[in-house]
Amino acid sequence: MSCVGHQAAGTWRHPSSQASRYNDLEYWTQLAMELERGCFDTLFIADVVGVYDVYRGSAEGALHDAAQVPVNDPFGAISAMAAVTQHVGFGITAAVTFEHPYLLARRLSTLDHLTKGRVAWNVVSSYLDSAARNIGMEKQIAHDARYDLAEEYMEVVYKLWEGSWEEGAVLRDKERGVFTDASKVHPIKHEGQYFKVPGFHLTEPSPQRTPVIFQAGASTAGRAFAARHAESMFILATSPESARALTDTIRAEVAAAGREPDALKIFTLLTIITGPDDEAARRKHEEYLSYASPTGMLALYGGWTGLDFASLDPDAPLEAVENDSLRTTLESLVADGQQWTVREVIRQRSIGGLGPVLVGGPQTIADALERWVDEGGVDGFNLAYAVTPASTTDFIDFVVPELRQRGRVQTAYRPGTLREKLLGDAGGQTRASHPASHWRQHYVGQESVADASGPAASWA
Amino acid sequence: MSCVGHQAAGTWRHPSSQASRYNDLEYWTQLAMELERGCFDTLFIADVVGVYDVYRGSAEGALHDAAQVPVNDPFGAISAMAAVTQHVGFGITAAVTFEHPYLLARRLSTLDHLTKGRVAWNVVSSYLDSAARNIGMEKQIAHDARYDLAEEYMEVVYKLWEGSWEEGAVLRDKERGVFTDASKVHPIKHEGQYFKVPGFHLTEPSPQRTPVIFQAGASTAGRAFAARHAESMFILATSPESARALTDTIRAEVAAAGREPDALKIFTLLTIITGPDDEAARRKHEEYLSYASPTGMLALYGGWTGLDFASLDPDAPLEAVENDSLRTTLESLVADGQQWTVREVIRQRSIGGLGPVLVGGPQTIADALERWVDEGGVDGFNLAYAVTPASTTDFIDFVVPELRQRGRVQTAYRPGTLREKLLGDAGGQTRASHPASHWRQHYVGQESVADASGPAASWA
């Protein structure tokens, strides 16, 4: 995320942390090169348009610890990172509730061109109330209506990306003097409940046309959306066992939507703290926790859960917390049967966000990751940092070699677009089973831009 | 402009033209480095959200010759260009009619951070009808209402950029563990006719806070907007004499708006074709014209003038054109008293857009530019290319040395932000006379984020 504190609260204060350099282009270009050194598939950039203002009823705590605020536009640094890398993909978060599809489609196509087909779009349909208020809505659109709107939004952008410019429309023919054959460009004539877009896409077809579609919503409506549209999905699970229940459900829903079992890759959120061995990793975790910020943690969890923890006595044991929602939420964060005070939970969970924290040397971490894949049924991991870029560098230096030795991660990139790399397909465009593909040939034979032309004199 | 044919129609076919590489990041990074070699102030990226569809009632002509379509998002390549340069500015076009100010403010602040204060925003309030239709409006908002909306839009973004985060709000204090002092961050509580934005800016103050404001509208309402807000204005004039009338008017309007005479820089549109001497330049112009495209030219002029030239007989002399609007428009393009046929005008004016074309060696061009400055009263030039990047390279190789010898252009960049470079001011933020500055101290002493916070337990 283009901010200081993403999933960890307070660790920006660690001496090695570069988090507060998020405004510096060099931070991003170095991070992208580092990810490519580790053969990471994608740099995923989360986003919120709004602030976490549940804790104590204001954004003070979030501001104090830079907990996802200030936050920059996730599109800003992409082309700089693309210029210094060749393979790593860029997953960019953008909501369907705020920007018009005619404009967002162009924004994403432009980056898919400039990155030579390395863009993924994390489709977000839910947002903070504070975001909705600042763009002039009193509250968020009701949850289910948001997914109706999202469904129509996807139809519009698919029509623009896949249907409006036929394959072969762009000739770039310097000899004949034809750049685009207008008989192969089609107005999409979209008239729906939310949007009306009569024209054609402003951008010529990019390497992937439709960027790889990411999704992260875990609600029933969110999962239904993912089952239809997503090619990568981010989940949240506390253990391989609970991940298995979720991945089985998701894969069944993908099949029910008429798509292949491998059409959707599932990535689970983890924070990994590692080092040369278990003891070094444990010490590093403890050292990181000495920078943990209760204020930032409570701001983040307030936003995520909608619960204000401000009224709690820090030194009360968990079982003494009278408010049921607060107590069960805190218990779920440390579910290990031990005795904890509120303060201890808050400190311990200042790192890792809502996801598990794995602490250990290369073999311990590799063993754990294998269980998440083999028993949990996930395809991979959405790794958050405890300290940036140290968490990334440590993972690459300590864990990647072990995983390579076990044959569990790639040692070089596949050629082609991000979609080809992620799904292993040839071509680089959406699969036949994906709803975008429906529109690819849809307008062929229908009205083209050339059909609408009036007569003209000959200028030959 | 992030397209193939901007002001010249058909010259993308020239063997040396790189115009059709507009999707390639390297084209942009090389162009930016080239501009910096010539000490250009700014790369100005025009934009249209829509297509030129007046000629023959369709976009066929525009597509055929890539006349401003396809067109990419002007924001896409900025950070890549910033990463390979240190000084050149980036003028980005964005409309106030399409994207919400809360979001556009963040997008521009992000790039102002990543470029270290090198961003200008070309504020556009008018657009093509085809653009309005594709984002769900039947027609454009009426012209004057657009400027009302633009005025309120500016108020919102100024409040966000200048007022909501006080100087000193961001501490980045690793020792004390305070990133932002929330008592210095203020909700803007904007409630207007068009927008309602209660919160504070999502981005911390960037080097310039408000990006340098560009404007290009020449209507009475457009000029009034520029007189109040613009720090650079792009004009269109056919001669130094006609420029003088316009620059005098604009400077009087700037003074009437309470701003200093040098608070607004005026740049006039020119296309320059040059070489080692006049004869070489003349031959180059002729050679370029052999690639000129009537179709693309008619598409562009159709969009710019709203007139469809399709009915004309190419071989008619100008005076035989019966339609008054068409005849006077064509006459104005070549106003030199010679005999022209329609075909000849169209060919001749396929290069240069609506602006003058200067053809000559270094001294001829430098003499002409001096007249535009000394007699026309302009501060500088908005140079369009005939062939890209050859027009830029030629200007730097042939004309810049001559202008440097005459002491007319900079030989090195001033330090500081784009605003400091352009206006010569210290500091880098808007002048006291600029309406943005009104908001800089406006919220100090008023409600802050911290004031809204409820009680909390001590976590010390």
Contact: A79, B174; criterion CB under 8 Å: no
- Please give the single-letter amino acid code of residue A39: C
- Please give the single-letter amino acid code of residue A14: H
Which tokens belong to B278? 């006049």
DSSP character at residue A370: H
CATH class of B11-439: alpha beta
Cα A147–Cα A148–Cα A154 angle in degrees, nearest 5: 85
User: How far does B227 lie from chain A, in Å, by closest CA?
Assistant: 28
Task: Find the closest chain B residue to A10 by CA distance.
Answer: B177
Q: What is the pLDDT of residue B138?
A: 52
Residues in chain B: 460
Check whether A339 has a pLDDT greater than 80. yes
Interface residue of A84, A202, A307 to substitute, partner B, most B CBs within 10 Å: A202
Q: 3-state SS of chain A: helix, strand, coil percent to 5?
A: 40, 15, 45
CA separation for the pair B273, B390 (Å, rounded): 9
CA separation for the pair A32, A28 (Å, rounded): 6
Contacts with B179 from chain A: Cβ below 8 Å? 4-5, 12, 20, 63-66
CA separation for the pair B63, B81 (Å, rounded): 28
CB atoms within 10 A of CB B287: 12
Contacts with A76 from chain B: Cβ below 8 Å? 75, 78-79, 107, 110-111, 113-114
pLDDT band at A128 (very low <50, low <70, confident <90, very high): low
Where would I find the beta strands (DSSP E) of A275-333? Answer: none
The reported pTM is: 0.97
CA separation for the pair A47, A50 (Å, rounded): 9
Q: What is the pLDDT of residue B139?
A: 57
Contacts with A8 from chain B: Cβ below 8 Å? none
Helix (H, G, I), strand (E, B) or coil at A318: helix
Tell how strand A190-191 and strand A119-124 pair up. Answer: unpaired
- Please give the single-letter amino acid code of residue B252: A
Which tokens belong to B35? 């501009």
**Residue keyed to tokens 């703290």:** A273
Q: Are B186 and B445 in contact (CB under 8 A)?
A: no
> What is the average per-residue pLDDT within A133-151?
73
Range list of H helices, B129-204:
129-134, 143-158
For A359-418, the pLDDT digits (tens) are 999 999 999 999 999 999 999 999 999 999 999 999 999 999 999 999 999 999 999 999
**Residue keyed to tokens 């600042």:** A134
- Return the percentage of chain A with pLDDT > 90, whole number: 86
DSSP character at residue B11: G
Give the DSSP H/E element, type plus range, for residue A104: helix A101-114
CA separation for the pair A356, A351 (Å, rounded): 9
Q: Are B203 and B109 in contact (CB under 8 A)?
A: yes
**Beta-bridge partners for B45:** B92
Is A93 among the annotated ligand-binding positions? yes
Contact: A57, B453; criterion CB under 8 Å: yes
- Return the percentage of chain A with pLDDT > 70, whole number: 97
pLDDT band at A130 (very low <50, low <70, confident <90, very high): confident
For A40-60, the pLDDT digits (tens) are 999 999 999 889 999 999 999
The DSSP secondary structure of A179-244, one letter per residue, reads EE-GGGB----EE-SS-EE-S--SSPPPTTSSPEEEE---SHHHHHHHHHH-SEEEE--SSHHHHH
Minimum-distance CB partner of B295 among A75, A308, A459: A459
pLDDT band at A145 (very low <50, low <70, confident <90, very high): confident
CA separation for the pair A221, A146 (Å, rounded): 9
For A85-101, the pLDDT digits (tens) are 999 999 999 998 888 99
Helices (H) and strands (E) in chain B, counts: 16, 12
Contacts with B75 from chain A: Cβ below 8 Å? 75-76, 107, 110
- Reduce the secondary structure of B104-141 to three states and give it as a string: HHHHHHHHHHHCCCCEEEEEECCCCHHHHHHCCCCCCC
Is A147 among the annotated ligand-binding positions? yes
Q: What is the pLDDT of residue A140?
A: 58
Contacts with B77 from chain A: Cβ below 8 Å? 79, 114
Q: Are A80 and A29 in contact (CB under 8 A)?
A: yes
For A231-262, the pLDDT digits (tens) are 999 999 999 999 999 999 999 999 999 999 89
Q: Number of CB pairs < 8 Å for A and B?
A: 298
The DSSP secondary structure of B248-299, one letter per residue, reads HHHHHHHHHTT--GGGSEEEEEEEEEE-SSHHHHHHHHHHHHTT--HHHHHH
CA separation for the pair A270, A268 (Å, rounded): 6
> What is the average per-residue pLDDT within A17-28?
98
Is A79 among the annotated ligand-binding positions? no
Which tokens belong to A26? 């060099």
The backbone torsions φ and ψ at residue A64, rounded to the nearest 5 degrees and listed phi first, read: -55, -45
Task: Find the closest chain A residue to B203 by CA distance.
Answer: A70
Q: What is the pLDDT of residue B337?
A: 75
Query: Taking the CA of residue A107 as centre, how many other CA atoms within 13 Å lie in the half-sphere pointing to its CB?
Result: 20
Helix (H, G, I), strand (E, B) or coil at B247: helix
Query: Taking the CA of residue A178 as centre, how many other CA atoms within 13 Å lie in the half-sphere pointing to its CB?
Result: 11
Minimum-distance CB partner of B13 among A20, A177, A459: A177
Contacts with A47 from chain B: Cβ below 8 Å? none
Low-confidence residues of chain B, pLDDT below 50? none
Which tokens belong to A429? 């465009």
Contact: B455, A102; criterion CB under 8 Å: no
Helix (H, G, I), strand (E, B) or coil at A126: coil
Q: Are B264 and B293 in contact (CB under 8 A)?
A: no
Q: Are A346 and A294 in contact (CB under 8 A)?
A: yes
Both ends of chain B: CA-CA distance in Å?
55
* Structure-derived torsion over alpha carbons of residues A315, A321, A322, A326, reported in degrees to the nearest 10: 120
> Could you give the ipTM of this predicted complex?
0.96
Q: What is the pLDDT of residue B126?
A: 65
Residues in chain A: 460
CA separation for the pair A436, A427 (Å, rounded): 15
